[in-house]
């Protein structure tokens, strides 16, 4: 199974991705056959800082669970406004 096929199951979820030129926490927005769209979250302000388009062949590591991811999800969720 190719990495992009497996990542398709995790679209719109928070994760850590390390690629050839760096690694960041963020939200996986889209998985295509040759690239992914990844919104990077600034862990200090818990706001999305930029969107990266990463060629799937450059991805070295993907972390979809664990205490760091749970902390990011909890902090980001606490910043969501309930003024709807």
Supply the CATH number for residue 67's domain: 2.30.30.100
Q: How much of the chain, in percent, has pLDDT values that exceed 70?
A: 93
Query: What CA–CA distance (Å, rounded) separates 66 from 22?
Result: 20
For residue 84, tell me if it sits in a domain.
no
Per-residue pLDDT reduced to its tens digit, 23-46: 999 999 999 989 999 999 998 888
State the residue range of the domain holding 19: 3-79
- List, in order, residues 6 or more apart from 15 with CB less than 8 Å away: 25, 26, 27, 28, 62, 63, 64, 69
What's the pTM value of the predicted model, to 2 decimals? 0.84
For residue 17, tell me if it sits in a domain.
yes
Cβ atoms of 41 and 48 within 8 Å: the answer is yes
**Spatial CA neighbour of 27 closest among 82, 79, 58, 43:** 43
- Residue 82, pLDDT score: 57
Residue 83: band (very low, low, confident or very high) from pLDDT cuts 50, 70, 90? low
For residue 43, tell me if it sits in a domain.
yes
């Amino acid at each position: 199974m190719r990495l992009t096929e497996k990542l398709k199951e995790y679209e719109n979820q928070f994760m850590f991705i390390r690629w050839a030129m760096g690694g960041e926490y963020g939200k996986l927005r889209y998985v295509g056959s040759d690239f992914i769209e990844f919104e990077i979250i600034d862990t200090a302000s818990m706001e999305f800082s930029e969107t990266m388009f990463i060629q799937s062949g450059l991805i070295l590591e993907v972390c979809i669970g664990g205490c760091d991811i749970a902390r990011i999800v909890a902090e980001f969720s606490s910043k969501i406004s309930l003024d709807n």
